[in-house]
Structure 1
Amino acid sequence: MNTRTDGSAVRIGVLAPLTPPGWVQAGQHLLAGAELAAREVNDAGGIGGRPLELLVRDTAADPEKAAAAVDELARLGVAALAGEYHSVVARAAAARADALGLPFLCSSAVLDALTDEPAERVARLAPAQSHSWRIYADFLLGAGHSRIAVAAAPSAYWASGTRILREHLAPRGGAVVELDMSAPVCDELAGSHATALLLLVGHPEPAVPIVRSVRRDPRLAGIMMGAPAGQPEFAAWEAALGGDGAAIPFLRYLPERLGPLGARVAAALRERLPEPPSFVAFEGYDTIAVLAEALRSGPIPSWPDVAVEGTRGTIRFSRTPGISVWQWAWPPVQVVDRDPARPDRLRVLHTG
């Protein structure tokens, strides 16, 4: 047990996309949750009598910037790393942290291969992409969609998502059609014979113009659009698209009903954020709560020994087949959309 009471802070480095081209709202929500948890840890006496201090670094969705931040934070003597939203960026941070022997609890990135080799000191709160995107594929099949078109930007993350969907749908009679992104999307989609289009692209560009063009094309009136990566979760989506952004299902990692801790944290987050807290804010809170508890037992978290009551359930880590890091298996998964009658309200369509 760490019992030092000399007042020196226990430092945790926090990585988040806080400037473009990073998804800034996601970074702001992640940081709001992390800062709330840190304040509560300090209000309760810190870690072994020492205050907890967060050193925040902006990754701007840049893997090289994230790796450089890991090096800097290691030189500053952080006890652990936390955060990051973008999967490709988190992968770069995880590789560098693992090489340095620095504990890293990834908050939100879902790419299965977060590290190339099994990593002892890297753990993850968010569900692996293969887990949550299969749930999304089951939702599509249940909704009557078996021929799925994808508009995918070049990225290891989007390529992985496309592969997961194809491998899950094919044995169940489904198919994935990849659209040529160099051609007009609506023309490609009209000729694809697909009944659903998945937006595997960045927000706001090119997601917003694609949605607008599909909504206005009479050939595509029956097409359902989806965004498994969660682009419609944040208020900026509604602000940009209004009613056009409704009825576009996405993945969210929250339970059907929050327990007492989750409800209390939700209320506190509403005071810190200009819009309702997203699941990313809860991931940020849980990340710091878990690290604080783990560091109370020693300088190096023992992930298999961690058991922390988080905002969305009891958090434990295990080795999961196909996943190279210690994984919480699994957070709750929902498929949600914005209600066409009230785009500011979310509807739960499916749970897994």
Structure 2
Amino acid sequence: MHTSPAVRIGALAPLTPPGWAEAGRHLLAGLDLAVRDANAAGGIDGRPLELLVRDTAADPARAAAAVDELAGLGVAALAGEYHSVVARAAAARADALGLPFLCSSAVLDALTDHPTEWVARIAPPQSRGWRFFTDFLLDRLGAGRRRIAVAADPSVYWESGIRILREHLARYDGEVVVLDARGLGPEGVCDALVAHDASALLLLVGHPEPAVPLVRAVRRDERLAGILLGAPAGQPELPSWASLLGADGAGIPFLRYLPDLPEGLTSLGARVAAALREQLAEEPSFVAFEGYDTGVVLAELLRAHGPDRTRLAPAAWAKVAVEGTRGPIRFSRVPGIGVWQWAGAPIQVVDRDPADPSRFRVRVRHTL
């Protein structure tokens, strides 16, 4: 039994709307399991790890305030966050305060405005994943019709995604048509798809609103029977997508940061998958594995360097070498990315099987 004072880690996650609370729940489940496993193995030199959880609710200002609060409470490091714009605000405050922050799920390339030694990331950068997704779209569409429409919400994250798509498609004579998802509404988006003769529609919008009404409208519009729907941000990954949309939500490719299941998981990953399945009472998403891997890395950093947060950066990230659920984790400097980056995160394009929307089909996988 631990009797020494706890070593505290601040955990940021969207747990209430307008944040994607389902993703936040999976992220926190992974983090919590990693902390429990670390404590079962003796904690940090006999001291237990403790998570101090703060709900960001997808609000950057709320996240920045939470970082300030957690720093004042003496946390050794920060972990988590799902939404890129929120993680960016948290990273800026962590960098300013000299507080180590390991971001779990946010993929925005420009997580910070400048290179920093205080921030690292488990998830792959958006440019890597979205270029891979664009190549998949081009293969599916073939030569000829390569006009891809995006139904987008206003956001730095979505704008970054559109820029990646546009730049990559331009090399193959492709075109991006940007549609204002909320201004047009579902029926207006359908009319615009017909008017532009779009061959695909990508959902660069929040879930469930307005993503679910958009999918329903497109699926029911006979004029759009041949259009390809895609969701690079991964909205179909979590169970609520299938429960809300059923068959309408199947056959929509998205990015998933997992190896082939179950054989692609490490032995640790297989054990964690079973534990998360029991804890969540549903299949764990890639977000849950990202949460667990975040906890594993931070526990190892704290064991190796102690709980004094000033000693966890700058040198500590470069020395990480741990076995995660999805492979060995090491951090490096990646050109164009200002934070320490795990460059080996697996990437797949997956969709839900039209024959059984509860099952996933791997359409293509990225190999380094």
TM-score (norm 1): 0.97
Structure 1 residues 239-297: Cα deviation after superposition (integer angstroms, max 9, x where no partner): 11000000000100001221211111000000110320000000000001000101112
CA contact (8 A) 2:266 2:324 kept: no
CA contact (8 A) 1:21 1:61 kept: yes
Aligned to 1:102: 99
Q: Counterparts of 1:260 and 1:303 in 2: how far apart (Å)?
A: 24
Percent identity reads 72
Q: Counterparts of 1:333 and 1:147 in 2: how far apart (Å)?
A: 25
Q: Counterparts of 2:45 and 2:283 in 1: how far apart (Å)?
A: 33
Give the drift of 1:174.
1.6
TM-score (norm 2): 0.93
Aligned to 1:190: 194
Aligned to 1:216: 220
1:290 pairs, out of 290, 297, 301, with 297
1:261 pairs, out of 253, 262, 268, with 268
User: Do residues 304 (structure 1) and 318 (structure 2) align?
Assistant: yes
Give the drift of 1:6.
6.9
Aligned to 1:177: 177
User: Do residues 152 (structure 1) and 119 (structure 2) align?
Assistant: no
Aligned to 2:285: 278
User: Do residues 320 (structure 1) and 324 (structure 2) align?
Assistant: no
Letter matched to residue 304 of structure 2: S
Q: Counterparts of 2:149 and 2:364 in 1: how far apart (Å)?
A: 21
**What is the CA RMSD across the aligned residues, in angstroms?**
1.0
2:44 pairs, out of 43, 47, 55, with 47
What's the secondary structure of 1:115's corresponding residue?
coil
CA contact (8 A) 2:104 2:122 kept: yes
User: Do residues 12 (structure 1) and 12 (structure 2) align?
Assistant: no
Give the drift of 1:335.
0.4
- Which structure 2 residues correspond to residues 51-70 of structure 1 after superposition, within 5 A? 51-70=48-67
Give the drift of 1:193.
1.6
Give the drift of 1:144.
1.8
1:330 pairs, out of 319, 338, 344, with 344
Aligned to 1:241: 245
- Which structure 2 residues correspond to residues 96-175 of structure 1 after superposition, within 5 A? 96-144=93-141, 146-175=146-175
Alignment coverage as a number of residue pairs: 348
Q: Counterparts of 1:74 and 1:206 in 2: how far apart (Å)?
A: 36
Letter matched to residue 118 of structure 1: P
Large movers: runs of 4+ above 4 Å:
none
Unaligned runs of 5+ in 2: none
CA contact (8 A) 2:269 2:325 kept: yes
Q: Counterparts of 1:321 and 1:17 in 2: how far apart (Å)?
A: 29
Letter matched to residue 275 of structure 2: A
Letter matched to residue 274 of structure 2: A
Structure 1 residues 32-82: Cα deviation after superposition (integer angstroms, max 9, x where no partner): 000100000000000111110110000000001000100110010000000
What's the secondary structure of 1:320's corresponding residue?
coil
Give the drift of 1:173.
2.3
